[in-house]
Amino acid sequence: MEKAVVLVVEDEALIRISTRHMVEDAGFGVVEASNADEAIGILQNRADIRAVFTDIRMPGSMDGWKLARAIKRRWPPIHLILASALAPNLSDLPANGLFIQKPYTAEQVSSALYELFNHDPASGPVMQDSRRNCAKVA
């Protein structure tokens, strides 16, 4: 079965590359974006993204919170993991969302992903339809 793909959104290149390796080592496919605008473009053009792992504090037109809200509006089945060195108000987390405090370990990343995907890198929601509608695949 095909691996679930996680979009890693992080403006710091070394952290993004490290996170990519952590996600891959957990058994998931990975796509990278350096900011929220790039992430939205990827989501608009790819139907295989099942989770987004994003930094909260990023430069650009949207930070991680705004990105998470935009994703929940347009692609509600997509799981979210938000990361920051500063602990947020956890009541702000969207549905299907988790928070990981930086610096995080590979074990924390894999545990969060396994929790969201019920320990199965091949499970999770899939976006379908050329008009970018979302549907859960059983």
Total number of domains in the chain: 1
User: Are 51 and 27 within 8 A, CB to CB?
Assistant: no
- Phi and psi for 36 in degrees, rounded to 5? -65, -40
C-alpha closest to that of 5 among 25, 26, 31:
31
CATH of residue 17: 3.40.50.2300
pLDDT at 98: 93
pLDDT of 129 over the 80 cut = no
Give the pLDDT band of residue 2 (cuts 50, 70, 90): confident
pLDDT at 1: 65
82 lies in which domain range?
Answer: 5-135
Show Cβ contacts of residue 100 under 8 Å, excluding neighbours closer than 6 positions.
81, 82, 83, 108, 109, 112
Q: What is the pTM of this model?
A: 0.86
